């Protein structure tokens, strides 16, 4: 094997700390689930009927990853920059066409994440039938806590998920309210992709999404998983 000669230095591999280890989790892909809590689907004007609908997904580029605790500039092109507090599932093994019973074996840990969103651009795209990239897949939009290894936690089926802005509670729900639970998501997503170690899955946000402004501090918490925080800086 010869080492390739690159025209310029390739970008560093995006990664996250893994709690209790000196190792980092190298991020391969970032999948996000849309409308996975009923009350959030309703607040977005698109209720979900699980009996007739399937989950849907969008992606964020791994280069959008930001570690919890960062300060990010208020992004360009928006006047309605929103937080979305989410449970993140970290994948540690390959999985393709998984059954719900078999799916949990590929989980290697969990994290608390923020799916930061340019809501105005997302809604224009949605309503015009265009891709969501400008609203979702933008720089520094995927905020994530360190990975908590699954250890004895096993499959998470409940637990409080909350978010505060400047100390005021904006989102407060429970993981038990997920429309499609973790095994259902992994089984479904793996019909479309070969899931790989390093993949992250943002599992959707509960109700109460809203805007933030420069100077605001976001802090989120998921019971037994951890905390995520973000400070909003001035626009560039």
Residues near Mn ion, by CB under 5 A: 84, 115, 205
Taking residue 143's Cβ as centre, other Cβ atoms within 10 Å add up to: 29
Q: Which is nearer to Mn ion, 18 or 87 (CB)?
A: 87
- Reference 13, options 5, 23, 21; nearest CA is 23
Residue matched to tokens 């105005």? 120
Q: Which is nearer to Mn ion, 35 or 149 (CB)?
A: 35
Residue 202 CB, nearest distance to Mn ion (Å)?
Answer: 6
Residue 56 CB, nearest distance to Mn ion (Å)?
Answer: 11
The partner residues of 90 in beta bridges, in order of sequence, read 109, 200
The partner residues of 86 in beta bridges, in order of sequence, read 113
Taking residue 172's Cβ as centre, other Cβ atoms within 10 Å add up to: 15
The partner residues of 168 in beta bridges, in order of sequence, read 165
Residue 144 CB, nearest distance to Mn ion (Å)?
Answer: 13
Residue 143 CB, nearest distance to Mn ion (Å)?
Answer: 12
Q: Which is nearer to Mn ion, 141 or 164 (CB)?
A: 141
Q: Which is nearer to Mn ion, 30 or 148 (CB)?
A: 30
Q: Which is nearer to Mn ion, 18 or 181 (CB)?
A: 181
8 Å CB contact between 16 and 147? yes
* Residue 87 backbone class (left: φ over 0; alpha: ψ -120 to 50; beta: rest): beta
The partner residues of 219 in beta bridges, in order of sequence, read 164, 229
Q: Which is nearer to Mn ion, 18 or 36 (CB)?
A: 36
Residue 196 CB, nearest distance to Mn ion (Å)?
Answer: 21
Residue number of the CB closest to Mn ion reads: 115
Residue 113 CB, nearest distance to Mn ion (Å)?
Answer: 9
8 Å CB contact between 201 and 221? no
DSSP 29: -
């Amino acid at each position: 094997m010869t080492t390739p000669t690159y025209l310029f230095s390739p970008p560093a591999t995006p990664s996250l700390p893994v709690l209790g280890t000196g190792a980092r989790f190298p991020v391969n892909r970032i999948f996000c689930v849309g409308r996975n809590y009923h009350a959030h689907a309703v607040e977005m004007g698109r209720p979900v009927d699980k009996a007739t609908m399937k989950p849907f997904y969008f992606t964020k580029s791994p280069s959008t990853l930001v570690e919890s605790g960062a300060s990010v500039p208020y992004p360009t092109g928006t006047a309605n920059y929103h937080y979305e507090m989410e449970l993140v599932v970290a994948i540690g093994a390959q999985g393709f066409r998984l059954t719900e019973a078999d799916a949990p074996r590929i989980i290697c840990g969990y994290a608390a994440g923020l799916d930061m969103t340019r809501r105005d651009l997302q809604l224009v795209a949605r309503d015009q039938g265009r891709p969501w990239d400008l609203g979702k897949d933008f720089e520094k939009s995927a905020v994530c806590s360190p990975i908590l290894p699954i250890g004895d936690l096993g499959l998470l089926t409940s637990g409080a998920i909350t978010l505060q802005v400047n100390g005021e509670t904006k989102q407060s729900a429970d993981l038990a309210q997920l429309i499609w639970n973790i095994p259902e998501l992994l089984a479904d997503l793996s019909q479309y992709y070969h899931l790989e170690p390093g993949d992250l899955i943002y599992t959707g946000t509960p109700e109460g999404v809203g805007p933030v402004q420069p100077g605001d501090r976001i802090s989120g918490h998921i019971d037994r998983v951890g905390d995520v925080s973000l400070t909003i800086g001035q626009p560039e």
